[in-house]
Amino acid sequence: MGKFVHLHIHSEFSLLDGANRIKDLPVRAKELGMDAMALTDHGVMYGAIDFYKACKKEGVKPIIGCEVYIAPRSRLNKEPGIDNKYNHLILLAKNNEGYKNLSKLVSIGFTEGYYYKPRIDLEVLEKYHEGLICLSACAAGAVPQALISGEEKKAEEIAEWYRSVFGDDYYLEIQNNGYKDQVLINQKLIALSRKLNIPLVATNDAHYLKKEDKNFHEVLLCIQTGKRMSDPDRMSFEEGELYIKSPEEMAEYFKAFPEAIENTVKIAEKCNVEFEFGHTILPNYDVPEEFETHYDYFKKLCDDGIKNRYGENPSQEILDRAEYEISIIKKMGYVDYFLIVWDFIHYAKTHNIPVGPGRGSGAGSIIAYAIEITDIDPIKYGLLFERFLNPERISMPDFDVDFCYEHRQDVIDYVSKKYGHDHVSQIITFGTMAAKMVIRDVARVLDVPYSEADSLAKMIPNELHITIKKALEQNKELRDRYENEETVKKVLDIAMGLEGMPRQASTHACRNSYNKRASRYLCTIICT
């Protein structure tokens, strides 16, 4: 393990606050000679899997964490003027149990504690603390806030409580972030550390990758808050140095407290979360008692379905195709998957909820057609099953199923009731800053007149997945303006720095509809 590890980092998934792209973080860690790094986005773990994969690819040890919001009272209290205030806290997963507990806490923040932010409280933190390391966070943490207010006794009580829960896995976090106030906070935290014998740990609360990226982050904050760079009262981190600093920079700043640097390495060594990929665990589908196995029930549905679709004496071609598909489905462990999908479609069809005939690769399955998941005959239209499912396909197959928009929620409610509300979720989607949008956003923040911003945005071709870089290559007029006009160059340079970053999160709509008559398909995950 190297000589310093960053344990407090915000990525693009700290929406419109973090300017670090997930893919760039481990690359930068390697460049600076660090072989481990943590991800601690605000209140969410959206980037955990991508971060883990990116780190593994670069040979950097991933540390999965989150900067959670702590409610001032109970997470269930939601009174204006009181409960919209909260403190920050850093939690890092030591092991897979810690990862599960962290995931649980973050979920509770949304399902039970959401009030302006996804909040948890001390009750659930104590309940799900196993496998977690706790850092006191930035100036917005409960301990620093008490110290800033001159309430040393209160700060001691808070710190003692956290230590009573986390034991040796609780650290007081001192930062090298460039803020003058932080110097005083550090001094008070160091004094508290000595008095209570709680270890220190050094971080930098990094929101962007390199020192020169500060301007990108400032513009991002303006987009978040609806302000302009010229606004005197805008939210700003301009005074700070919230970038991924080198081990040398961190060690030099904290040379009087080498243990705070050493503890970053010790914490990294404690953190060993391992994810398994390519192994799907499906929920159990309860089959009727008269069937010994799930496969027996599935086979009965298939045999009856083939006869229902093709008559009492199907051709050998149809029988062979059905047997082949059944063998692949069984071999790959997707019997329950077919039963689950069949079940909620069967529910819809028997409750007068219109269901589409099926789209996508799933329409290539004769078994899906036989048990009425789809209504398209793959034999008649020469559709291939292998496009939908084959032993070489690692990812799960998926059926695109359309439901009438008026009763789509009824199907989701049925699935939730059957498998449990805490085992069903809808897919998240992230609206990203596409080329035209980000140009308009940046131009507004920089006080560029709307007419000029609009003309620039309209120079971006109406092409799927177009980027500003591609547009500069394709559009000579835009390229000429970029090369000859200082304001245009500034807007486009910043826009390219922010392009593609997530702007907001929402529930996946499954398919864009242009009117209320358009159907949407069920986009729900059922988990064990």
Above 70 in pLDDT, residue 136? yes
Structural domains in the chain plus CATH codes: 22-270 (3.20.20.140), 294-427+510-526 (no CATH), 430-507 (1.10.10.1600)
Residues 37-48 pLDDT 10s: 999 999 999 999
Q: What is the pLDDT of residue 510?
A: 62
Per-residue pLDDT of 183-228, as tens digits, reads: 999 999 999 999 999 999 999 999 999 999 999 999 999 999 999 9
Return the closest-CA partner of residue 471 out of 486, 485, 456: 456
pLDDT at 512 (0 to 100): 37
The answer to whether 225 and 235 have CB atoms below 8 angstroms apart is yes
Q: What is the pLDDT of residues 48-71, one digit of tens each?
A: 999 999 999 999 999 999 999 999
- Predicted confidence (pLDDT) per residue in 425-451, tens digit: 888 889 999 999 999 999 999 999 999
Q: How far apart are CA 22 and CA 448, in angstroms?
A: 30
> For tokens 């909040």, what's the residue?
119
464, pLDDT greater than 90: no
Tokens of 427: 């897919």
Residue 521 β-bridge partners: 402
Query: Is residue 516 scored above 60 in pLDDT?
Result: no
Cα-to-chain-centroid distance, residue 513: 25
Q: Rounded distance, CA 231 to CA 254, Å?
A: 35
Looking at per-residue pLDDT, the higher value among 147 and 398 belongs to 147
Residue 222 DSSP SS3 = helix
- Count Cα neighbours of 171 within 13 Å in the Cβ-side half-sphere: 28
pLDDT (tens digit, 9 = 90+) per residue, 324-369? 999 999 998 899 999 999 999 999 999 999 999 988 899 999 999 9
What is the pLDDT at residue 511?
A: 47
pLDDT score for 7: 98
- The predicted pLDDT at position 279 comes to 72
Q: Determine the Cα–Cα distance for residues 48 and 64; give it in Å rounded to an integer.
A: 6
Query: Amino acid identity of 327?
Result: S
Q: What is the predicted pLDDT for the residue at 426?
A: 82
Q: What is the pTM of this model?
A: 0.88
pLDDT band at 526 (very low <50, low <70, confident <90, very high): low
Calpha distance 492→472 (Å, rounded): 10
Q: What is the pLDDT, as a whole number, of residue 173?
A: 98
Centroid of chain to Cα 524: 16
